[in-house]
Structures are given as structure tokens and as C-alpha cells.
Chains A and B, each alone.
Chain A
Amino acid sequence: MDGLKAAVILFVAALLQLSVLGQYAPFRTGSLVLVVLLALALLRGSVFGAVAGFGIGLLLDTATLGTLGITSLLLTVAGFWIGRYGETTARDRFHAPYLSVAVVTVLFAFGQLVLQFVLGEPAPAGLVAHGLPVALVFNLVLTLPVYALVRRLFPAPEIGDRVREVRLLG
């Protein structure tokens, strides 16, 4: 059920990103999809984040008719990493979504640049660095409503759901 909900919310975010936000230069630098993915990964863990990242990356690459796999690779790693952060130290910490979004926004931009460079495609580092502050602010502004919405749609599992095995001591 969570998987279906995540697929729907990511699909809607991708459509908004591609068809609406992408038409305005200031919004184009940020990424609604990235923020939604990170919120999901924080709340549902590393495997969920990685699978969601791979799927939505593939959709973005398909819709923009770009080189397949580039966005998938970056979002898989981002979803996994932030999912691990959520599983280990960040759960229920107020700063976790903001910190995650800030760090991944920077790493995602430079990751894209490195992949483009490795593939021998134009990789304008100056343009990316120039647009990064705006992207950072935009994504951080999006984080509050997006994380609140995703948290409402994906409530933390009950303790009974989280425990899969009980080991009796003594």
C-alpha cells in the first residue's frame, strides 16, 4: 500500500516538476521530486528510498528523453543514503529533512555535473555553481510543506509493525 501511495505522489510531483515548475526559470533550478523523494526516504528507510529513487529517476529520464539511467543512478544513491540516515540517527529529529535536502541538493547538482563530464557531454560547472544558491533556497522552502504532507500520508509505523522478531533474553 505504501509503495502504491509513494508511486502516485512521486508521479504527481514529477508531472508538476516537468510541466509546471519547469516553465519558470527560478523554480527550474530546484527540484520538487528530489524533496519528495528525500521525505519518503527519511520516513520509510533506505531500501524504500533507493527503489523509489530508481523508479522516479527512470521516469524523469524517459519524459525528458535524456540519457536513461543518469537521474536513476543519482536518485537511487540519494534515496538510499538519506534512508540510512533516517534509519540510524535522524528519525524524529527536526533538522533531519532540512539537512538532508540541503546536502543532497548540492551533491545531486555536482553528481549530475560529474556524470555529464564523464560521458563527454557539456558540463558547465560555472552555471551549476551559479544556480545552486537559488536551488538550495527553493528546495529548503519546499521542504516544510512537502515533508509535512508526506509525513501525514506516511505516518510512522506502530511499534508492533516495526518489530519483526522478538528475542527473549534470560
Chain B
Amino acid sequence: MPRNRTVRLAVLGSSVQKAAASGYPSNRSSALRRRLIVGGLVLASLVLITVSFRSSALDGVQGTAADAVRPFEIAANRVARPFRDAAGWAHGLVKAKSENAKYRREIAALQQQNLLDEQAIQENVQLQQQTHFQGPPSVKAFGRVGTQVLTNPQNAIDQTVTIAAGSASGLAADDVVVAPNGALVGTIDKVWSHVARVVLLTDEESSVTATDLTSPSAVGEVHVGSGSDSELVFDRVPKSEYVGVGDTIITSGNLGKGSLPSMYPRGVLVGTVTSESDTDVNPFKTIQVQPAVNFSSLQTVIVLVPPR
């Protein structure tokens, strides 16, 4: 720009520069295109959230898509299994020596306990027959569907697992799910034809009525503790009841008041009491329970199917 420019020149220069600035159609159009694409994707996500959360309109599509992904998940599990087994074997080998002596002592104690238990079971059966006892359904009354876990919880918020069996195998919502060792895992939340979603006992909205095996009158409610996704709390147990550390907690399977019986059968293992205390301000005991199952690494589960 010449130093001795006139006002007219300056104005012209300005207008020329503006024209030049508007001469980047590609930049502007690409910015517009970028914003449109991202805006569209965000809008699509919000629509999906709204529809998926408020209605079951997308359940069919989601179930079909999940069915399509299922073979890949099963294949990935199968590929990973030898490595997982090898890691488990190596880990077990390190601990095996120290655990050997401990388990030998436990076996001796359990053999004695087993004899007493068998006598008690026989007496129990005889007494039930004599009194025509009508109690809650036991685990034996339920059918069993064993299935593979497809996905475990993906983060601290997610307390669900997906399993590779669905309504085609006879499963329905609210069916109880246990681990291969018989310990309670959770309940089925949603069912598709070949997959289902299980809400774990560690979900904030899950709870189960339970009792102490050695002190059956101590009935309360087991739910997840605050601040941890692996520790359970045995709540609402009156202070007058005795619950000791090391006691086994099982589902109580209450019959309820007629129309609302517990959906859990009696006698499903929940966990072991790790601590017990009383406080003056709480009318109930403070009892912590270590679950009998590792919720974060489930590989197979058993669904208890009630007789329908």
C-alpha cells in the first residue's frame, strides 16, 4: 500500500481485502460441513437417548444388533480363554503352597460339619413331612440354565452384565442369577431372544431380603454399601439379634404378605459377615458382608428359572 494513499484508495484497499477474505469458500464450507456433521451426530445421540430411555421402541433393534455382535464376543472370549487360564494357573501356583495347609485344616473341620449337617437335613425333611410345612420355594424347585457372560461391567457406574441366553432359553425378566458356586449374582433386567441383561446385586437399586444361616431370626436386607462397589451391607437387622463375624448370609426367600413374595428362593448364598457393630444413633446393627462372588470377573452364570 503506498504511503501517500488517498482516502478513496484506503477505502478501496479495504474493500479489496474484504473481497479477498471472502475468497476462501473451501474453508468456510468445510467449517459449515464440519459443524453440520457434528451437530447432526449430537442430535442423533440425544434422540437415541430420549427414545431408548423413555420407551422400548428401540429394544427390538438393539436386541437384533446385540444378537449380531454376540458371535464376535463369544469368539473373542474363546480366543482369550487360554491366556486367561494360563494367567490363572500361574497365579494359583504362587498361592498354592501357602493355601495347601490352610485348606487341609478346613477340610478336616468341614468333614465333621458335613456329618452334623446331613443329620440336620434328614430331621428337617422328616419334620416338614410330618407338619405339612408350607415354606418359601427352595432352589431345588427351580430349573437351571447355564450360560456364558458376554460382557462384564464396563466402569464403576455400570453394574450390569450381559449373558448369552434369552427368552429362547426360557428366561424372563426378574429371574434370579447365581454364580457356578451357587452365590447370588443378581436378577435379569431385560430379555431379548438370545441375550439378556443382568443387574448385579452391587447395583444401587438392587437389594435382597436375607438371613443369617446360623441365626435364622436375624432377617434383614442386603444391598450395596456406600463408597464401594464390592462390599455389601446387611441392613435393618435389629440390635437384639446376634450376628457374628464369619457367619454365612443367605437369601431368606420370604413369602411376603400374599401377593408380593420374594422373587429369590430361600437358601441362595450371598456372602460372609466381615464386621458387625452397634451404634447408639442407629436402631439397627451395622453389618458388612463380603460377597461370595467376584462381580467384576464373571465368566459363566446359572439362571434359576421358576416353574411357569
- A positions within 8 Å CB-CB of B: 11, 15-20, 22-25, 28-29, 31, 46-47, 50-51, 53-54, 57-60, 62-70, 72-73, 76-77, 80, 109, 112-113, 115-116, 119, 121-124, 126-128, 130-131, 164-165, 167
B258, CB-defined interface residue at 8 Å:
no
B297 & A25 in contact (Cβ 8 Å cutoff): yes
Identify which of A18, A47, A53, A164 contacts B154 (C-beta below 8 A).
Answer: A18
B37, CB-defined interface residue at 8 Å:
yes
Give A84 Cβ to nearest chain B Cβ, in Å.
9
A63 & B52 in contact (Cβ 8 Å cutoff): no
B contacts with A, residue count (CB < 8 A):
57
| B297 surroundings in chain A (CB, below 8 A) | 23-25
Contact with A along B268-304 (1 / 0, CB 8 A): 0000000000000000000000000000111100000
Q: Which B25-44 residues have a C-beta within 8 angstroms of A?
A: 26, 33-34, 37-38, 41-42, 44
Give the residue name and chain of the A residue nearest to B45 (CB): A73
Asked if A113 meets B65 with Cβ closer than 8 Å, knowing A19-B73, A20-B80, the reply is no
Give the residue name and chain of the B residue nearest to A167 (CB): B23
Q: How far is the CA of A80 from the CA of B34 in the complex (A)?
A: 9
B49 & A63 in contact (Cβ 8 Å cutoff): no
| B227 surroundings in chain A (CB, below 8 A) | 126-127, 130
**Interface-facing stretch out of B106-114, B145-153, B168-176:** B145-153
Identify which of B37, B46, B155 contacts A50 (C-beta below 8 A).
Answer: B37
Q: How far is the CA of A57 from the CA of B192 in the complex (A)?
A: 21
Give the residue name and chain of the B residue nearest to A84 (CB): B34
Give B20 Cβ to nearest chain A Cβ, in Å.
9
Give A22 Cβ to nearest chain B Cβ, in Å.
4
Which applies to chain A's interface (DSSP): helix, strand, loop or mixed? helix
Identify which of B72, B154, B192, B226 contacts A64 (C-beta below 8 A).
Answer: B154
| A69 surroundings in chain B (CB, below 8 A) | 44-50, 52
| A18 surroundings in chain B (CB, below 8 A) | 73, 76, 150-151, 154
Give the residue name and chain of the A residue nearest to B49 (CB): A69
B299 & A23 in contact (Cβ 8 Å cutoff): yes
Give B146 Cβ to nearest chain A Cβ, in Å.
18
B46 & A65 in contact (Cβ 8 Å cutoff): no
A62 & B69 in contact (Cβ 8 Å cutoff): yes
22 contacts between A and B (CB under 8 A): A18-B73, A20-B77, A20-B84, A23-B84, A23-B152, A25-B296, A31-B155, A46-B38, A47-B33, A50-B41, A54-B45, A64-B154, A64-B158, A64-B160, A65-B160, A68-B49, A68-B51, A72-B44, A73-B45, A115-B49, A116-B157, A122-B205
Asked if A47 meets B49 with Cβ closer than 8 Å, knowing A19-B80, A22-B153, A66-B160, the reply is no
Give the residue name and chain of the A residue nearest to B69 (CB): A63
Task: Please provide the 6 A-B residue pairs with the shortest distance between their CB atoms, ordered closest to farther.
Answer: A69-B48, A73-B45, A69-B49, A122-B204, A19-B76, A68-B52
B221, CB-defined interface residue at 8 Å:
no
B93, CB-defined interface residue at 8 Å:
no
Q: How far is the CA of A58 from the CA of B153 in the complex (A)?
A: 17
Number of A-B contacts (CB under 8 A): 157
Q: Which B129-181 residues have a C-beta within 8 angstroms of A?
A: 150-160, 162
A77 & B154 in contact (Cβ 8 Å cutoff): no
Q: How far is the CA of A130 from the CA of B298 in the complex (A)?
A: 22
| A72 surroundings in chain B (CB, below 8 A) | 41, 44-45, 48
Give A155 Cβ to nearest chain B Cβ, in Å.
22
Give B259 Cβ to nearest chain A Cβ, in Å.
27
Give the residue name and chain of the B residue nearest to A54 (CB): B41
Asked if A62 meets B66 with Cβ closer than 8 Å, knowing A20-B80, A23-B297, A50-B37, the reply is yes
A76 & B204 in contact (Cβ 8 Å cutoff): no
| B247 surroundings in chain A (CB, below 8 A) | none
| B84 surroundings in chain A (CB, below 8 A) | 20, 23
- Name the residue in A16, A28, A65, A112 with the highest tally of chain B Cβ atoms < 10 Å from its Cβ: A65
Q: How far is the CA of A20 from the CA of B66 in the complex (A)?
A: 17
Q: How far is the CA of A159 from the CA of B196 in the complex (A)?
A: 50
Identify which of A23, A29, A46, A119 contacts B156 (C-beta below 8 A).
Answer: A29
Q: How far is the CA of A16 from the CA of B72 in the complex (A)?
A: 10
Asked if A67 meets B156 with Cβ closer than 8 Å, knowing A18-B150, A51-B41, A54-B45, the reply is no
B38 & A47 in contact (Cβ 8 Å cutoff): yes
| A11 surroundings in chain B (CB, below 8 A) | 72
A127 & B190 in contact (Cβ 8 Å cutoff): no
| B159 surroundings in chain A (CB, below 8 A) | 122
